[in-house]
Structure 1
Amino acid sequence: MPTVTALFRYPVKGFTPEALTALEIDADGRVRGDRVLAFRFADAVTPDSDGGLDHWPKERGLSLMRFASLARLRTTFDAAERRLRIHDDEEGLVLDTVLDDEGRREAADAIGGWLTRTTDARLLRADGVMPLHLIGDGLTSRFQDRARGYVSLHGAASVHAVADAAPVAIDDRRFRSNIVIGDTHAWEELSWCGSLRIGGMEFDIERPIGRCAAITVNPDTGVRDARLLGLLTKEFAQAEPTLGVLLLPRHGGGTIRVGDDVTPL
């Protein structure tokens, strides 16, 4: 039987994950504590509207899709203390600040300054980008790629299939899902429809996850080292590069844990 093998949330949009043994799922279908902060461009500090929901397009803020070098940074966020710490393995501490108004400005300036020393520096020169702004209350999950939020899931076997076809090392981190499951066949999760149960929670399976250029980035070096978008369509005959599925809870919020059984319904 498929089981949950790993759980992740991403406190800061586009930055490193936090591995957990349990995830709290809110009734609105988002992972609690996931993407609660984001570095946004100067002209994108208020949300767009998408079907009556707030939407924060990743193209108008820092994300791995465009800023590959962000993968070099290691991020920790203490929600209780409202403290954000970001470290670069090469340069050392980039910032360590509390999220008051002054701390947010310091954080945005520090990340902007760090990016000027990377290969992504040219992207900062586009109109409307600088100065960066760190927004979000540190509690409310709202900076997912899609306005509805969703919980993301993929099978480890699907990633292993990609790794076998790729010229470089590939692991689950490239795909930035909330839930990784084991004991499935490669691509099995894409064949599921309707709903599934994870532990004591039931989820509707909404649709497959279309992938972006973030998956081409090495999660250790911040270098684009794998043409995975083309690999997915050519090697696996996909119409669009796809890996994993999006979920919404059927009966309100709850908790899922590593080791939970996963049962298609």
Structure 2
Amino acid sequence: MIRLAHIVRHPIKSVGFEELAGASLTKGRALPFDREWAVTHEAAKFDRLTEWHPKMNFLRGVAGPELMAISAQLDSATRRVTLRHPFAGALTVAPDEEGPALVDWLRPLWPAERPAPARVDHLPGQAMTDWPDPFVSVLGLASNRALGQVMGQDLSIHRWRGNLWLDGLAAWAEFDLIGRHLQIGDAVLEVRQRITRCKATTVNPETGRSDADTLAALQQHFGHEDFGTYAVVVQSGAVALGDEVTVI
């Protein structure tokens, strides 16, 4: 039996992960409040966010590994986010209204040689994910265990910045789901494509330090650098931890 084991969102792109007990998925939309905000840097190719833009315009874990160690807790009613980092401490901020405070908190965590954090951006109705499509990522716990086994170390699921983690699939079986539909709770998702990974996944989300060459291990042992899949919600509905997952 396949079950939903983790639900994870990232309220601010590359700045904090948060585990949830449940979520309400909407047809044609990303996971609620996932990548709702993004921090734009000084070398961004736009002056005002009016449409989706590629990830190189924003702060990212691949360029600033310290960001990977930030955890988040969002109060969706007040739109205030509490961020915690093992060295920088904690900050509670409303990104819509207190962007400069967030930028100031992030600045010491961002490499000095990179274009500096400039402002917090938000585009209503558009998650600032790596693709403009309203993807929800679906990943398998068995694949994470299989990769960890060949590397000889435990790998946190938060290296992968995924949304929905499934338990009960065989390792890498999520790739076989492309083109299929998944019934999870009351929602239905269509699995669309594999996710090719970057060096941000080499970073330990507890320390913000690169300590596992995930890309080399994927290539050496499995012949690719892919982990997880992208899906789209085709039927709205609530999902919760422990929900049975049915392949349609």
Q: Same fold (TM over 0.5)?
A: yes
1:188 paired residue number: 173
SS in 2 for 1:161: helix
Do the aligned residues in 2 keep the contact of 1:153 with 1:181 (CA within 8 Å)?
A: yes
Unpaired runs of at least 5, structure 2: none
Do the aligned residues in 2 keep the contact of 1:109 with 1:132 (CA within 8 Å)?
A: no
Unpaired runs of at least 5, structure 1: 49-53, 124-128
2:79 paired residue number: 82
2:29 aligned with 1:29, yes or no? yes
Match of 1:148 among 133, 157, 165: 133
SS in 2 for 1:226: coil
1:51 paired residue number: none
2:92 paired residue number: 96
Change (3 A) 1:165 1:111: same
1:201 paired residue number: 187
1:257 paired residue number: 240
Counting only pairs closer than 5 Å after superposition, residues 1-265 of structure 1 correspond to structure 2 as 1-44=1-44, 45-47=47-49, 54-93=51-90, 95-99=91-95, 101=97, 103-112=98-107, 114-115=108-109, 120-123=111-114, 129-136=115-122, 140-196=125-181, 197-238=183-224, 241-251=225-235, 253-265=236-248
Do the aligned residues in 1 keep the contact of 2:156 with 2:204 (CA within 8 Å)?
A: no
| In 1, Cα distance between equivalents of 2:96 and 2:129 | 23
Deviation at 1:156, TM superposition (A): 0.3
| In 2, Cα distance between equivalents of 1:71 and 1:111 | 12
| In 2, Cα distance between equivalents of 1:248 and 1:91 | 36
Further displaced range: 56-65 or 155-164: 56-65
Change (3 A) 1:257 1:223: same
Change (3 A) 1:204 1:97: closer
Deviation at 1:161, TM superposition (A): 0.3
Deviation at 1:131, TM superposition (A): 4.8
| In 1, Cα distance between equivalents of 2:126 and 2:117 | 24
SS in 2 for 1:75: strand
Deviation at 1:163, TM superposition (A): 0.4
TM-score normalised to the size of structure 1? 0.84
Runs of 4+ in 1 over 6 A off after TM superposition: none
Change (3 A) 1:79 1:192: closer
Deviation at 1:32, TM superposition (A): 0.9
Q: What is the Cα-based RMSD across aligned positions, in Å?
A: 2.1
Deviations for 1:69-88, whole angstroms, at most 9, x for unmatched residues?
Answer: 11233333323223233333
SS in 1 for 2:106: helix
Q: Percent identity?
A: 25
Do the aligned residues in 2 keep the contact of 1:190 with 1:244 (CA within 8 Å)?
A: yes
Deviations for 1:124-173, whole angstroms, at most 9, x for unmatched residues?
Answer: xxxxx335111126x74511110003010111000000000114431211
| In 1, Cα distance between equivalents of 2:133 and 2:96 | 28
Do the aligned residues in 1 keep the contact of 2:203 with 2:209 (CA within 8 Å)?
A: yes
Deviation at 1:17, TM superposition (A): 1.4
